Structure formats: C-alpha cells, structure tokens
Amino acid sequence: MSMNEPRTLDEIEAAMALNVPFGDWRYINDRSVTFYTRRLEMLVRHLPELEPLLAAWKAASPEDRYPVLGDTVLRATLNAALGGMETGVKDLPLERYRAVFEGARRLLAEGRRESPTENGASRRLPLGEAAHHPWVWCDEREEDVWAQGFRELFDHEKSSSVLRTPDEATMGVLRGAVALLEDVLPRVTRSVLDHAYVVGVTDVVNRQAWDNPNRRFSYDSFTTFTIPGALFLSMGMLRNPYKAAESLLHESLHLKLHDIEHTHAILKRGYNAGRSPVIRSLWNRSHPDATNEWPACRSLAAMHVYLHLALYAERLAREPERIQAVHGPLNGYEPVPQRRRALERAHYLGGMLRRDCWEELGIGGQRMVDWMMGLLNELGAGALPQDGNAHLFLDLYEREAKEFNVLLASLRALPEAVAEERGQGLRQKVSEMLRGELGVAVRIAASVGDASASASLREQAERITSTRLSGLSDAELPGLFNSTRGTVASLLRAVSSEHFLGTREPETEKPLSELVRDMVVSSSTQLNDMSSARFQPLRAAPPS
C-alpha cells in the first residue's frame, strides 16, 4: 500500500483493535495485571494474612488468572479494602473481605479458570465457548459473599430495575449479538469482549409486568466505574440482535476504557468531573439537571464509543444482504443513518474536547483524542458537511417526535377528569409549538428560494389550530405530531450545508443554522415544560 492510498475497513478495524496503548487487549490486560498486583501488594501490608493470595496470584498462569482478575466482586473488594484502609475508615467488613480473598486464592491455586462469582450460580450461562466470552448473571444461585457483593454493587446504582435470569429466547438474542459482532467486527470484538466479564440482564421492578412487551424501561444499558468488568442490558432492548450487538459493543468499550484509565494518564492529575468544562450533547434534550452537558471524561468515553459504532454501522451498510441472510432481518435497524450520526457525534465531541477541555486531559487522553480523530477522518468524518451542527440538532428534533407517545401515556395514567383538562391544555401547547416550527421552516424555505415549499408549509401551519387538535383522539395526535415534524425535518435535511452557514434569514440576519438551533431548543424546552406540568397540581391548594 502506498503512502497516499487509503486504508481498507479491515485495516482501520485492525488499527482500532491492535493499537498500543489504546486498542490491544493483551497490552491493556498486562497493564491491568500490574495495576492489581500492586494493589494487592499494598493491601498485604495492612493484612499480612493475605500473603498466600498474593503468592498464588503471582504463580498463576495468565490463563488461570484471567477469570479471577476480571471478577467484578474481587476487583471491587480490592478497591474498597485498600481505599478504606488508606483513608482510615473504621468498621470495614474485614471478615467478608477475607472470605472473598480466600475464595480467589483457592481458585488460583487449583487452576480452575472460573470466575468466583459465576461459580455459585445454579447453572452456567456463557455467551460463547472462548475464554474471552462473557458469562451471564443467573439470579438463582448460592447466596454467598460473591452474590451478596454483586447485588450490593448493583443496588447501589439505584437503577429502578432488578437482576433477572434470562430465558432461552433472551439468551438466543444475546448469543446472536455476539455472533453478529464476531462476523462484522472480528478483531474489535475480540479486543473489547476481553474487558467484559459478566453481563447482567435487568427488568422492571414490577415482576407482574414482565410479560408485557410494552413495559417501559428507564435505560437500554449501562456500565459504571464502580462495578468493574460488568455491563447491564435491559430486557427492553434484547429483542433485536442488531440493537443488542450495538449495546454490547457500546458498554464493552466503556469497560475497556476503564481498564485503560487504570494505568494511563487519560485525565489530568487531580481531575474533577464536577469542575470540568462541559460539552453540550446537542442530540440530547436539555434537562434542569443538565444531563446533556458532559464533562471531559464522559465526552471522551462517548467519542470512543461513537468511533466504533460508526465502523459497526459501516460494516452493516456494506453487506446488508449477506448479513441478513446469516443473522436475520434488520427489523428497523438502519445502518446508514446510524453511521452518519455516529460519525457526526464523534467528530463533534473530538473538536469540542480540543477546543474546551484539552487541559482536562492528561497526555494519554490528548494522544487518544488525536488517534481517534485520525481514524474518524479515515472513516469519512473529515468530509462531513460543515453545517453549524444543524444536523445534530435535527437528530434531537426527530427523536423527540418519537418520544411524544410517552407524554400522552403519562396523561392516560391520571384520573379521567384531570387527564381531560390537562389533555386540552396539552393540545393548545402542541398547536402553538407546531405552528412555530412550521413558521421557522417557512422562513428557511423562503431564504433558500423554495417558494413552493414555503407556501405549502404556510398552508399546513394555518390548518393546525388548538380547536382542530381538540377533535383528535389520543391515538391520532401522535400521528399528526410525527407527520408535521417529519415534513419540517425533511425540508431542513435537504438544505445544503453551504446554505446553513452562508445564508442569512433577511428578517433576523441570522445564519439558517442558528434558526434551526433556536427552533429545536425552544421546542425541546416546551416539551420539558409539558412533561413536568403533568405532575403539578391543577390549581393552587387552599390555605391550610
């Protein structure tokens, strides 16, 4: 390959999976072993009776040590015990710690190549036969110190969900997701799954709702630094293997980055997320608690995920017929827009990290951003249209249209009289909001010289009044909401990037990209207000 010849997707994937220090699982694991060996050596100074564990640890082969090193409860116990002793915390559960450490020593000495926590399950639920394939939590098990430790770590997250033993159909989806990843991204999958030791399947707290396919989940998946080596997937997204594979890849990448952060200067010394400059994730709705404003650490982690998701979507888009013949229909999973969104978001986050958060990163973090930006450009991000982030705002605009049903569902749960009164208020607000959005679209269409679209949009705005909306049923209202937003989004996505940045709306002299931003932010705020208002009293309470 010549110096100027672009790399193939296989070569780009190899660069992601085998780079030292950010990709190669063998290098990262070696560093993790060094990190935890040092932690154990420091712990022995406080608890000399742990010397046999340290000796067994050092004597074990990498193959014997791997499942024990990755055990969530062992890692968390090492971290908690050493942290508590170094800070002088009293009343540490030393007997429990000793039981965990003794169990780990015994497995290492026997060379059983088992996870101590998995060992107590009533049955094994592996996602594959290879050593790097994760195992799945089985909730029917011996309630030993390992189960107690894992449950406490999970419950500490207050996730409003419970651990569940997956049935055969769910296990089929999970195993299908692994097979799909190994087909389309074999090197990356080998690398990231090495950092994912256990998968917890979760469901809603109300077990009577488990058979309801329409039950609502507060999240699709999550990982957290405080539960090492574990990722959690909700039953809500374990219906489509393509979506499940995306979530499995997503969360495994977070675990991989956690392992990198143990031994590399990814963040500056003394980094504090609460004091970090933030980057606004434009594709997420603004909330009073600023959940769409991400500090440097979260922005870097999201960039890392979006880079790999762009490659995943690219692979699916290249061979859709072959992949569906092997792994089944996509069932609504859309690789082409997914690829665009992932590239846009990763490129945006990388640029903002360089602009606003560079000093928050250590030398390792800065090099990691540069490495990822190079890979993004090879995947085509460098050729993305420069549209003032209009398309990122449009992602939020379209997502909120799909979530409109949730707002109506919450109203149906209220007493009938209250729901009716609030429903009428909602229709008036929706009418005003949609007319405002169509008005902005009219102005943009006129600014780019599309007189036909401008006239059509104006007529549509005149037809939307609160009086007419009041005649629509709850089942019909989302259809109107979605079709109206679809019309606006189609027009705006057809506007060229040159127009977004180079054309100014005559009335305000604003670039068209700013009109889009203002419209989406305003509508998002209104939807937030509508959503929160459903929980407020209709009238002021009488004086007590």
- CA gap 348, 502 in Å, rounded: 20
At a CB cut-off of 8 Å and minimum separation 6, what does 136 contact? 125, 126, 127, 166, 171, 174, 198, 199, 200, 201
Tens of pLDDT, residue by residue, the chain (544 residues):
555 678 999 999 999 999 999 999 999 999 999 999 999 999 999 999 999 999 999 999 999 999 998 999 999 999 999 999 988 888 889 999 999 999 999 999 998 888 999 999 999 999 999 999 999 999 999 999 999 999 999 999 988 999 999 999 999 999 999 999 999 999 999 999 999 999 999 999 999 999 998 888 989 999 999 999 999 999 999 999 999 999 999 999 999 999 999 989 999 999 999 999 999 999 998 877 778 999 999 999 999 999 999 999 999 999 999 999 999 999 999 999 999 999 999 999 999 999 999 999 999 999 999 999 999 999 999 888 788 999 999 999 999 888 887 777 766 665 665 555 666 678 888 889 999 999 999 999 999 999 998 898 889 888 888 777 878 887 888 888 899 999 999 999 999 989 999 999 998 999 999 999 999 999 998 888 877 654 443 333 333 3
Nearest to 111 by CA among 74, 64, 71: 64
Q: Is the dihedral of CA 54, 59, 64, 69 positive or negative?
A: positive
Q: Is 334 helix (H, G, I), strand (E, B) or coil?
A: coil
Residue that the structure tokens 């998995």 belong to: 118
Q: Is 317 helix (H, G, I), strand (E, B) or coil?
A: helix
Q: Is the entire prediction scored with pTM above 0.85?
A: yes
At a CB cut-off of 8 Å and minimum separation 6, what does 33 contact? 62, 65, 69
Q: How far is CA 275 from CA 287, 294, 298, 360, in A?
A: 19, 11, 13, 10
> What φ, ψ does residue 139 adopt, rounded to 5°?
-80, -15
At a CB cut-off of 8 Å and minimum separation 6, what does 291 contact? 284
- CA gap 325, 320 in Å, rounded: 8
The answer to whether residues 135 and 115 touch, using CB atoms and an 8 Å cutoff, is: yes
- For the stretch 47-83, what's the b/e string if a residue is b when 16 or more beta carbons lie within 10 angstroms of its beta carbon? beebeebbebbeebeeebbbbbbbbbbbbbbbebbbe
Q: What is the DSSP letter of 279?
A: E
Partners of 234 in the beta sheet?
202
Tokens of 505: 């709306």
At a CB cut-off of 8 Å and minimum separation 6, what does 129 contact? none
Q: Is 360 helix (H, G, I), strand (E, B) or coil?
A: helix
pLDDT at residue number 541: 36
Q: Is 424 helix (H, G, I), strand (E, B) or coil?
A: helix
- CA gap 285, 528 in Å, rounded: 8
Residue that the structure tokens 């009086």 belong to: 467
Q: What is the DSSP letter of 274?
A: G
pLDDT at residue number 542: 36
Tokens of 81: 């015990």
> Which string of DSSP letters, residue by residue, matches 171-221?
HHHHHHHHHHHHHH-HHHHHHHHTT--EEEEEEES-GGGTT-TT---S-SE
SS3 per-residue string spanning 97-125:
HHHHHHHHHHHHHHCCCCCCCHHHECCCC
Tokens of 121: 């399950």
